[in-house]
């Protein structure tokens, strides 16, 4: 039977409960394929890309197999690094949250061995160790391997690359022969296959292969934004692109529900589609989406499987998916039936690496998209409003209104121009929200800007101070346009532009600084006369 749900797995209800709490809706392909085989007692070689859930693929069977009333060591997981050992042990502890009497401990070099010995004395059934330290404990007899029933080599390819082969063999020779052995790895080089021949018993090689999928007619963008800004960024993109229908993907049900709440609160017609809903409820949501009662569907991967709607114009990866294949599935909801589609993926910090994997997998490139500014959104809204105005003007039948305006102009003592009145009406009709621009600080890692001078300018650049900013409705693109236009230098050579409330800093090449200052002096941006000078430490922000 092909496994598609955690429900279908023959595992402890308490594990299922923990899995649900961790937000896993369904087993990933490597989990679905390897868990049942390991549970049968067979040795397994599990091969799947990074980030596909291999940890739970071996951890769930470990928890299923461990006897909690027996305090002796029953399972060993070997990991290449201390970080991984800690990470795996955390995942095991989460999975074991509702099980009683199970202890898992990471052991690795660099931590005082006495402390580990003390912890081991308390009775630990599962250790997650780096090879060297595990051998230390075996030699000291602080780890007794007589009752070990399962050995897992996680990231086996990494471990071999790091020269742990001998250590691994020593460990495998020091555990009972009738144990079960599983190898998990992203790649399976020859060296691993040699090891498996020697130490595994008729293993089943489970390989999750990827389908070739095309995403050619989909424009794929990414946007760098931190979590706290995602909802605002999403709203702006929806306002600017105004897609007829869009699907927003979240990685968890909880995330999807929360996002729907937020979007509804902002006046969007959105609803959620996820695994917690009964089939009837899903059908209702899908009907609403098809007939346009809602135009934003917030979905998780499982639920989205059935989405087969032709005019989805945008897909948003509110969370970047765990798996490259999911990515293709997700964005494939748009660009259907020969149409053009657009996808936006929100990324931040660590996601960038995952994104590179996705690019490699899809053999396509995600293009960086800026966060729409308040100005972009306004422009779009005003544009839409004016096309309505145009329609009404062209329809005619305005004589009554014209009469009122004329009366108003004449009766008032101060004379208003018609344009003042039109502006006031526009403001009344559209309202005016004061919205802050989103300033994305770069995550620490990518903040490396090389050497900077005391004003914060990079090498070869100088920072200039300009006396206009957001209060004057000036945006970075205005500054960029003005400088490249007036001084005749390419926009590409202009560095960072930081727009603050009342002033702006811009980086220009050192060689061009004088020219820029000369050309820009006394020019105007948005009606404001410019004062431009070299920034000094004092006005560094």
Q: Which parts of this chain interact with Mg ion (CB under 5 A)?
A: 54
Tokens encoding 93 = 């502890």
Nearer to Mg ion, 54 or 333 (CB): 54
d(CA 323, CA 325): 5
Residue 245 makes CB contacts below 8 A (sequence gap 6+) with: 289, 292, 295, 296, 297, 309, 311, 312, 313
CA nearest to 337, candidates 218, 159, 514: 218
From residue 52 to residue 91, the character string flagging contacts with ligand ADP as x (rule: CB under 6 A) and all else as - is: xxxxx-----------------------------------
Q: How many CB atoms lie within 10 A of CB 1?
A: 5
335 binds, among ligand ADP, Mg ion, none (CB under 5 to 8 A by kind): none
To ligand ADP, the closest distance from the beta carbon of 91 in angstroms equals 6
d(CA 74, CA 345): 43
Give me the least distance between CB of 186 and Mg ion, in Å please.
8
Rounded distance between C-alpha atoms, residue 251 and residue 316, angstroms: 12
Which of the choices Mg ion, ligand ADP, none does residue 245 contact, using the CB cut-off of 5 to 8 A by kind?
A: none
Name which of 68 and 322 has its Cβ closer to ligand ADP. Answer: 322
Sign of CA dihedral 11, 17, 22, 27: positive
Burial class (CB in 10 A: 0-12, 13-18, 19+), 254: middle
Of 157 and 224, CB closest to ligand ADP: 157
The burial class, CB within 10 Å (0-12 / 13-18 / 19+), for 253 is buried
322 vs 467, beta carbon nearer ligand ADP: 322
475 makes contact with ligand ADP (CB under 6 A):
no
Of 51, 375, 456, 495, the residue at the interface with ligand ADP (CB under 6 A) is: 51
Q: Which residue lies nearer to Mg ion by CB, 134 or 220?
A: 134
CB nearer to ligand ADP: pick between 59 and 145: 59
Contact yes or no for 473/527 (Cβ under 8 A): no
**Residues in contact with 373: Cβ distance below 8 Å, sequence separation at least 6, in sequence order:** 437, 475
Residues 313-332 that bind ligand ADP (CB under 6 A): 322
Q: Write down the least CB distance from residue 26 to Mg ion, Å.
A: 19
Residue 300's binding partner out of Mg ion, ligand ADP, none, with CB under 5 to 8 Å set by partner kind: none
Taking the complex as a whole, the smallest distance from the CB of residue 28 to Mg ion amounts, in Å, to 12
Residue 51 near which of Mg ion, ligand ADP, none (CB within 5-8 Å, type-dependent): ligand ADP
- Smallest gap, in angstroms, from Cβ of residue 181 to Mg ion? 17
Contacted by 24, from Mg ion, ligand ADP, none: CB < 5 to 8 Å by type: ligand ADP
How far apart, in whole angstroms, are the C-alpha atoms of residue 241 and residue 214?
24
Residues counted in the chain: 541
Binding site partner of 182, from ligand ADP, Mg ion, none, Cβ cut-off 5-8 A by kind: none
* Candidate ranges 23-31, 379-387, 472-480, 495-503; the one touching ligand ADP (CB under 6 A): 23-31
Residue 456 binds: one of Mg ion, ligand ADP, none (C-beta under 5 to 8 A by kind):
none
Look at residue 33 and give its three-state secondary structure.
helix
Residue 504 contact partner, candidates ligand ADP, Mg ion, none, CB within 5 to 8 A by sort of partner: none
Positions 25 through 44 that interact with ligand ADP (CB under 6 A): 27-28, 31
Contacts of 429 (CB under 8 A, 6+ apart): 385
- The angle at the Cα of 238, spanning 237 to 244, to the nearest 5 degrees, equals 140
Nearer to ligand ADP, 27 or 243 (CB): 27
- Residue 28 binds which entry of Mg ion, ligand ADP, none, CB below 5-8 Å type-dependent: ligand ADP
Cα 319 to Cα 416: distance, rounded to the nearest angstrom: 52
SS3 429: helix
Residue 528's binding partner, choosing from Mg ion, ligand ADP, none, with beta-carbon cut-off 5 to 8 A by kind? Answer: none
Nearest to 57 by CA among 83, 79, 29: 29
DSSP letters for 148-217? --EEEEETHHHHHHTT-HHHHHHHHHTS-TTSEEEEEES---HHHHHHHHHH-SS-EEEE--------TT
Smallest distance from ligand ADP to CB 495, Å? 37
CB of 24 to ligand ADP, least distance (A): 3
The backbone region for 396, taken as left when phi is positive above 0, alpha when psi lies in -120 to 50, beta otherwise, is left
Residues in binding contact with ligand ADP, number by CB under 6 A? 13
User: What sign results for the dihedral spanned by CA atoms 17, 21, 25, 27?
Assistant: negative
Minimum distance, C-beta of residue 71 to ligand ADP, in the bound complex (Å): 27
- Cβ proximity to Mg ion: between 56 and 342 the closer is 56
Per CB under 6 A, does 24 bind ligand ADP? yes
364 makes contact, choosing from ligand ADP, Mg ion, none, with CB < 5 to 8 Å by partner type, with none
What is the closest distance, in whole angstroms, from the C-beta atom of residue 31 to ligand ADP in the complex? 6
Where along the sequence are the contacts to ligand ADP (CB under 6 A)? 24, 27-28, 31, 48, 50-56, 322
């Amino acid at each position: 039977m092909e496994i598609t749900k955690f429900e279908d797995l023959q595992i402890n209800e308490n594990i299922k409960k923990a899995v649900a709490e961790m937000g896993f809706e369904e087993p990933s392909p490597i989990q679905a394929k390897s868990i049942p085989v390991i549970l049968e007692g067979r040795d397994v070689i599990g091969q799947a890309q990074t980030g596909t859930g291999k940890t739970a693929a071996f951890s769930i069977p470990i928890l299923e197999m461990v006897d909690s009333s027996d305090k002796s060591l029953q399972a060993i997981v070997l990991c290449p690094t201390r970080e991984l050992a800690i990470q795996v042990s955390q995942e095991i502890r989460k999975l074991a949250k509702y099980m009683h009497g199970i202890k898992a401990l990471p052991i690795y070099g660099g931590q005082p061995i006495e402390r580990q010995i003390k912890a081991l004395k308390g009775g630990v059934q599962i250790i997650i160790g780096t090879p060297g330290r595990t051998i230390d404990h075996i030699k000291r007899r602080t780890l007794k391997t007589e009752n070990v029933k399962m050995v897992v080599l996680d990231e086996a390819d990494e471990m071999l690359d790091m020269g742990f082969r001998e250590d691994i063999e020593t460990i495998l020779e020091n555990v009972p022969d009738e144990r079960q052995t599983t190898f998990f790895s992203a790649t399976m080089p020859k060296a691993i296959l040699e090891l498996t021949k020697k130490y595994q018993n008729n293993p089943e090689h489970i390989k999750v292969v990827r389908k070739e999928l095309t995403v050619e007619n989909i424009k794929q963008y990414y946007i760098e934004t931190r979590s706290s800004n995602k909802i605002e960024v999403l709203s702006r993109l929806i306002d600017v692109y105004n897609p007829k229908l869009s699907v927003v993907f979240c990685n968890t049900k909880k995330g999807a529900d929360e996002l729907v709440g937020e979007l509804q609160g902002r006046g969007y017609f959105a609803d959620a589609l996820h695994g917690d809903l009964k089939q009837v409820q899903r059908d209702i949501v899908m009907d609403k989406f098809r007939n346009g009662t809602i135009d934003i569907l917030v979905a998780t991967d499982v639920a989205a499987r059935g989405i087969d709607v032709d005019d989805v114009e945008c897909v948003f990866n509110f969370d970047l998916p765990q798996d490259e294949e999911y990515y293709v599935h997700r964005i494939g909801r748009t660009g259907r039936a020969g149409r053009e589609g657009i996808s936006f993926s929100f990324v931040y910090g660590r996601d960038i690496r995952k994104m590179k994997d996705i690019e490699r997998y899809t053999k396509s490139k995600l293009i960086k998209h800026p966060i729409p500014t308040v100005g972009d959104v306004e422009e779009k809204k005003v544009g839409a409003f004016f096309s309505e105005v145009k329609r009404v003007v062209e329809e005619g039948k305005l004589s009554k209104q014209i009469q009122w305006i004329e009366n108003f102009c004449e009766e008032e003592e101060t004379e208003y121009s018609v344009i003042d009145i039109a502006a006031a009406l526009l403001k009344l009709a559209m309202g005016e929200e004061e919205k802050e621009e989103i300033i994305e600080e770069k995550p620490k890692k990518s903040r490396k800007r090389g050497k900077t001078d005391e004003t914060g300018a990079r090498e070869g650049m100088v920072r200039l101070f300009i006396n206009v900013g957001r209060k004057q409705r000036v945006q970075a693109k205005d500054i960029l346009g003005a400088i490249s236009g007036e001084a005749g230098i390419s926009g590409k050579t202009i560095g960072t532009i930081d727009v603050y409330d009342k002033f702006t800093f811009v980086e220009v090449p050192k060689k061009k600084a004088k020219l820029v200052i000369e050309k820009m002096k006394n020019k105007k941006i948005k009606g404001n006369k410019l004062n431009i000078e070299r920034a000094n430490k004092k006005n560094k922000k």
